[in-house]
Structure 1
Amino acid sequence: MSILPEAIDRYRKFFSFIIKYWNSDLVKYSSDRALGKDTEIERSSFDQDPEEFVKDLKTMGPTYIKLGQLLSTRPDLLPESYLEALCQLQDDVETIPYEQIHETFEEVIGSRISKCFKEFDEIPMASASIGQVHKAVLHSGKKVAVKIQRPQIREQFLKDLNTLQEIATWAVKNSEDARKYNVAELVDELRYTLLQELDYNAEAEHLMLLAENLKHFNHLHVPQPILDYTSSKVLTMELVEGQKVTKVSPLKRMEKNLDPLLDDLICGYLKQVIEDGFAHADPHPGNIFITNDNRLALMDLGMTAHFTKELQSEILQLMIGLSSYDSNQVSKVILAMSHYDQETANIDGFNKNISRLIQESEISKADTMQTGRHIIQMNRIAAHHGIQIPAPLNMLAKILLNMDQIVAELSPRYNVNETIRGYIKKIMHTKTISELKPENIFNLILETKKLTEKMPERLNAILENLSTNQFKVKVDAINEDRFTDAFQKVANRITLGLIIAAMIIGAALLIQIPTSWKIFGYPGLAILLFFVAALLGFYIIYAIIFKDQDFKKR
Structure 2
Amino acid sequence: MNKKSSNRFKEIIKVFARYGLGYIFDSKNPQDKKSPENLRKAFEELGPTFIKIGQVLSTRPDLLPREYIEELVKLQDSVQEEKFENMKTVFENSLGIKMNEAFKEINFIPIASASIAQVYEGILNDDREVVIKIQRPDIYKNIQLDIAILIRILRFTKAKIKMSIIDPIEVLEEIESSTREELNFVLEADNIKRFREYNKNVAPVYAPYVIEELLSDRVLVLEKINGFKINSTQALRENGYDTNDIANKLALSYCKQVFEDGFFHGDPHPGNILISRGKLCFLDFGIMGHINHSMKKWLNLAIISIATKDKERLVNCILSIGIKKGKVNKLDLYDAISYMFDTYLETSIKNIKISVLMQEIWHITIKNNIQLPKELVSLIRSLIILEGVVSELDPELEIVNVIVSFIRSKNRFVILNCLEKEELVISMYSFVRDSIKIPSKTLEVLNKLSAGESKVELKVKDISNIIIQINKMVNRITQGILISALILSSSLIISNNVKPTYNDISLIGIIGYIIAFIFAIKLLISMAKACEYKKNNKK
TM-score (norm 2): 0.69
1:275 aligned residue: 260
Please state how far the C-alpha of 1:542 moved relative to its aligned partner: 11
**One of 236, 251, 262 as aligned partner of 1:266:** 251
Q: Does 1:236 align with 2:236?
A: no
Contact 1:147–1:235 (8 Å) recurs in 2: yes
Post-superposition offset of 1:207: 0.5
> Residues 100-499 of structure 1 correspond to what in structure 2 (within 5 A)?
100-171=86-157, 175=160, 177=162, 181-249=166-234, 252=237, 256-291=241-276, 293-340=277-324, 344-363=327-346, 369-429=352-412
Maintained 8 Å contact 1:197/1:302: yes
Q: CA deviation at 1:243?
A: 1.9
Matches within 5 A, 1:39-58: 47-48=33-34, 53-58=39-44
Distance 1:295 1:254, change over 3 A: closer
Matched, 1:12 2:32: no
Instruction: Decide whether aligned partners of structure 1 residues 197 and 357 sit closer, same or farther in structure 2, where only a CA change above 3 A counts.
Output: same
**In structure 2, distance between residues paired with 1:544 and 1:377:** 36
Query: Which letter maps to 1:182?
Result: D
Tell me the alpha carbon deviations over residues 361-408 of structure 1, each in whole angstroms, 9 at most, x when there is no partner: 335787763213321221112112222222222111101111111112
For residue 297 of structure 1, what is the amino acid of its counterpart?
A: C
Q: Please give the secondary structure, in 2, of the residue aligned with 1:20.
A: coil
Residues 321, 373 of structure 2: 8 Å contact kept? yes
- Identify if the C-alpha distance between structure 1 residues 47 and 255 changes in structure 2 by more than 3 Å, giving closer, same or farther: farther
Q: CA RMSD in A?
A: 3.8
Asked whether the equivalents of residues 119 and 133 of structure 2 are also in contact (C-alpha less than 8 Å), the reply is: yes
Shift of 1:360: 2.9
User: C-alpha displacement at 1:180, in angstroms?
Assistant: 5.5
From the superposition, tell whether residues 336 and 400 of structure 1 become closer, same or farther in structure 2 (CA, over 3 Å).
Answer: same
Q: 1:325: Cα distance to partner?
A: 4.3
2:264–2:289: 8 Å Cα contact kept in structure 1?
yes
- Say yes or no: does 1:90 pair with 2:89: no
1:135 Cα offset (Å): 0.8
In 2, distance between residues paired with 1:253 and 1:401? 28
Q: CA deviation at 1:229?
A: 0.9
8 Å Cα contact 1:245-1:285 kept in structure 2: yes
CA distance in 2: counterparts of 1:178 and 1:429, whole angstroms? 41
Cα distance in structure 2, aligned partners of 1:217 and 1:89:
34
Within 1, Cα distance between the matches of 2:52 and 2:304?
Answer: 33
Give the secondary structure class of the aligned counterpart of 2:76.
coil
Query: Is the alpha carbon distance of 1:85 and 1:222 closer, same or farther for their aligned partners in structure 2, counting shifts above 3 Å?
Result: farther
Conserved 8 A contact 2:231-2:270: yes
Measured after TM superposition, the shift of residue 134 of structure 1 is 0.8
Range with greater deviation from structure 2 (122-131 or 11-20): 11-20
Change (3 A) 1:208 1:386: same
What do the CA deviations read for 1:127-173 (whole angstroms, capped 9, x no partner)? Answer: 111111111112222211110111121221122122123223324x9
Which whole-Å deviations, capped at 9, do the CAs of 1:391-439 have from their partners, x for residues lacking one? 2221111011111111122222223222112211133149799999xxx
Q: Supply the distance in 1 between the matched residues of 2:347 and 2:68 (Cα, whole angstroms).
A: 24
Equivalent pairs counted in the alignment come to 426
Q: Could you tell me how far 1:56 is from its partner in structure 2?
A: 4.3
Cα deviation for residue 50 of structure 1 reads 5.7
3-state SS, counterpart of residue 414 of structure 1: coil
CA–CA separation in structure 2 for the residues paired with 1:251 and 1:283: 18
For the Cα contact (< 8 Å) 1:323–1:417, is it kept in 2? no
C-alpha contact (below 8 Å) 1:373/1:397 kept by paired residues: no
Distance 1:380 1:16, change over 3 A: farther
1:399–1:180 Cα change, 3 Å = closer
- Whether the 8 Å CA contact 1:121–1:135 is kept in 2: the answer is yes
Q: Which moved more, 1:205-214 or 1:72-81?
A: 72-81
C-alpha spacing 1:354/1:248, structure 2 compared with 1 (3 Å): same
The question of whether the paired residues in 2 share the 8 Å contact of 1:73 and 1:394 is answered with: no
Amino acid aligned to 1:201: V
Q: Measure the CA separation in 2 of the matches of 1:321 and 1:61.
A: 46
Report the identity percentage: 27
Separation in 1, partners of 2:349, 2:459: 57
One-letter amino acid of the structure 1 residue matched with residue 253 of structure 2 = G
**In the alignment, what sits opposite 1:485?**
none
Instruction: Work out the CA distance in 2 between the residues paired with 1:358 and 1:145.
Output: 48
Q: Hey, what does 1:517 align to over in structure 2? A: none
CA 340–107 in structure 1, closer or farther in 2 if over 3 Å, else same: closer
Once the two structures are superposed, residues 451-471 of structure 1 have per-residue CA deviations (whole angstroms, 9 ceiling, x without a partner) of: xxxxxxxxxxxxxxxxxxxxx
Residue-by-residue CA offset, 1:199-225 (whole Å, 9 max, x unaligned)? 111111110001111223222211121
